[in-house]
Amino acid sequence: MSRRALTLLLAGFLVLAFGVVGAFRPVPYVVLSPGPTENTIGEVDKKPVISIKGRQTYPTKGALHLVTVAYQGGPAAQIDLLTALRGWLDPTVAVVPQETIFAPDRDPKQVEEENAVEMTNSQDSATAAALNELKIPYAMAVSVAYTEKGKPADGKLKKDDEIIAVDGKAAKDVTAVSDAVKAHKTGDNVVFTITRGKEKLDVTVPTVAGPKGQPLVGVTMQAKYKFPFEVDINVGDVGGPSAGLMFSLGILDKLTPGELTGGKQIAGTGTIEPGGTVGPIGGIAQKMVGAQDSGATIFLTPADNCAEAVKAVPDGLRLVRADTLHSAVQALDALRTGKGDVPACEAG
């Protein structure tokens, strides 16, 4: 073999070797794929997803599927380049920069804690929204879930502090407290009136600039409700707030006579406010694939996700726009009875 041929062979081998090694090097991306679904009027591990005690309930039929997104990767378990490339070639998954899921200034454990708090808040907000829809009264308070280490609230506000006012204005709910903080300029002081045990205190906390420039104090809050009966939601290790709408619909279906679904396989997604407003979520394309895989033919879609959903909707899945819990109930009534308008998603 000539020296030139040997050189080319060696160079080709080195290129291949570097390529193979490079393919298995970790990269800062996360793969999002369709996650598991759960029927909110069904069971998980032989236990009802939604259990209600102390109030009459009614039989249900069909399904109200919550949908999820599974992710692979993250700071603690980065994917390799080959996995990312496979994801880019698969139309049912998305490959996104790691920082879109895991903020650079937050560790994975903190993200998990936030997801757990968001899921608890989502379940409570879903119950509150369902009771508001049925005009059943309840009591509510805003409490501190935890503070972020190194942020201004750390050491000043404590877990389980009940926030009763911000700058002298009553703390109606978590959103109101958050909005009151955001209304300040970075560097301003925020005065929280709290109860800690039997003590009432005014706690002054300065704001700092958050990742997007908005002022924050570094406190995560949760609503503490006192409902007139017990509502228990069991979904295993599913986290985040995006199942709120489907929880509310499941609670409503169990608390009212008749079948909300008409026996159909319904799926959907969306955050929920206690007042019934449905908010947008992430991963809509993957969630629609998961909905179709679960056998659903109708997908309740937050209004703000409609434009994106229309572009990626799988064949055979009908998109129904959900602005509020009330409008979602009306849409399901129209689908069941064949009477009334069913709001559809439209391209933006």
Only one residue has tokens 């909110």, namely: 40
Tokens of 274: 């206690």
Q: In one letter, which amino acid is 303?
A: A
3-state secondary structure of 303: helix
For this structure, is 242 an active site residue? yes
Tokens of 238: 């599913």
Q: How far is CA 210 from CA 159, 187, 207, 304, in A?
A: 21, 11, 9, 24
Cβ-proximal residues to 20 (8 Å cutoff; 6+ apart), any chain:
none
> CA–CA separation, 256 vs 249, rounded Å?
11
> CA–CA separation, 257 vs 266, rounded Å?
18
Q: How far is CA 69 from CA 28, 235, 268, 289, 291, in A?
A: 19, 14, 13, 10, 11
Catalytic residue, chosen from 33, 122, 125, 287, is: 287
Q: Following CA atoms 290, 294, 297, 303 in sequence, which dihedral angle do they give, to the nearest 10 degrees?
A: -40
Catalytic residue, chosen from 242, 248, 254, 294, is: 242
Per the CB < 8 A criterion, the answer to whether 71 and 30 are in contact is yes
Per the CB < 8 A criterion, the answer to whether 147 and 248 are in contact is no
For this structure, is 327 an active site residue? no
User: Residue 190 belongs to what H/E stretch?
Assistant: strand 189-196
Tokens of 223: 């609503």
Q: In one letter, which amino acid is 172?
A: K
**What are the residues facing 164 on neighbouring strands?**
none
Q: For 182, how many CA atoms within 13 A lie in the half-sphere containing its CB?
A: 10
Catalytic residues: 242, 287
